[in-house]
Amino acid sequence: MNSNSPPNNIGPLQKREAKLAWRMLAPTIISIALVVILPLLAIFWISFKPIGLADLRPPTPSAYERIRGDLTNAGDKAILEYRLRNSSRTHSILDVSMSDIIPSGLTILQLDERCSLDGSKLSCNLGDWEAGYNEKMQMPVTANQVFIDSKFNLNETKAKLKGKTSSILFNFTFTFDNFIYLFDAREFWGVIGVTIFYATFGTIGALVVGLFAAMLLNRNFRGQGFLRGLFLFPYVAPVIAVAFTWVTLFDPFSGSANSLLIQMKVISEPFNFFGEKPQALIMVTLFEVWRYFPMSFLFILARMQSINSDIYEAADMDGASPFQKFYYLSLPQLMGILSVLFLLRFIWTFNKFDDIFLLTGGNAGTRTLTVNVYEQAFAISNIGAGAAVAVVIFIILVIFSIFFFKLLSKEEGL
């Protein structure tokens, strides 16, 4: 047995410390479960259900009560009307019953055959209501002076309805129809391709620009602090403001970019940067690079400033060129932070919604998976399909993360 190996026995002090550590971590674990795991499970649950936006509410019976006619004098006759409706157009309600209080002085002349009257309490067994059920139940009434003098408002005693129904959201009926619907659509594969292009080149571009910006400012000169703050502007500025600025600058009719290019005779007619393929996708990718390179710049600059300057002095003495110093000295030191930044930025860019939605609305070949989630769930009210797209996003990112960590571990092993 190796004498340097740690002992297998854990003492009572270590056990108490371990229990204390788990107790201290319990609030964090519970918070993560509530904020992350439960919504994720809910998305998986909904993705296997053919559920629309209207199905989020269970079917409910409703009744609107009113008197049709003029009851101004004792003995006048009118119609007591109940407008009955099933709120769902896809699901039925079973064994619907209604109860209501008839105000004093109002007499029902002829009851509906489904109803009975006990004193002033009206009870009705309305049977089963199919999806989209709508009916006007009418009963003739007459009023005496007591009712007329009271000026009674029927809304003061609203009719109460009950029924049996099952919500599609909470039952245990599952289907793969949402995923079949998605993958049968030819455009969905194009959406995946657009998302991968946008996330990959947006991430790489942000890292490359951030790296060059960090190299530029990794030295002391006058105005260094001002430039560092200026480089952070794209990241800290409100996204709606900078997106509107880009759309205005590159507008084909009133944008400054088109006017400048025409005056320089680079183009002969206005160019629709955000309205046509494929330049719209290129433009939103460039916007992603411009907006998020400051984050990479900050992390890379911090790592650069922690590198010992002695290795660069030794390289200068050996006659190394600036490129050789960067490739053989700086880059190996930066690979760790670059790997972490690539992973985080790829995941965040893959999940990005607001930038593309504000710039193009997902038109002109810029529809990504996150925009597709919005369109499926809210534009066409197919919540199940929207959740299925979200599940596809999650699976792709999990596969990417596993592949990334395996590749990273192999590189470290070398």
Whether 414 maps to a domain, the answer reads no
Say yes or no: 198 and 330 in one domain. yes
Cα(first)–Cα(last) distance of the chain, in Å? 29
For residue 111, what are the contacts with CB-CB under 8 A and spacing of at least 6?
117, 139
Tens of pLDDT, residues 274-313: 988 889 999 999 999 999 999 999 999 999 988 888 888 8
- The number of distinct structural domains making up the chain is 2
pLDDT at res. 414: 44
User: What pTM did the predictor assign?
Assistant: 0.77
How much is the average pLDDT of 94-105?
Answer: 91
Say yes or no: 203 and 240 in one domain. yes
Query: Cβ-count burial of 182 within 10 angstroms (0-12 exposed, 13-18 middle, 19+ buried)?
Result: buried
CA distance 136 to 96: 15
What would the 3-class secondary structure string for 4-69 be? Answer: CCCCCCCCHHHHHHHHHHHHHHHHHHHHHHHHHHHHHHHHHHHHCCCCCHHHHCCCCEEEEEEEEC
Whether 14 maps to a domain, the answer reads no
CATH code for the domain in which residue 355 is found: 1.10.3720.10
Whether 206 maps to a domain, the answer reads yes
Q: 134, 164, 194: which is the final residue of a domain? A: 164
Say yes or no: 150 and 281 in one domain. no
Tens of pLDDT, residues 124-181: 999 999 988 999 999 999 988 888 887 766 666 788 999 988 777 888 888 999 999 9
Tens of pLDDT, residues 254-271: 888 988 988 888 888 888
* Domain extent at residue 101: 59-164
Per the prediction, the chain carries an average pLDDT of 88
Say yes or no: 224 and 331 in one domain. yes
CATH code for the domain in which residue 87 is found: 2.60.40.290
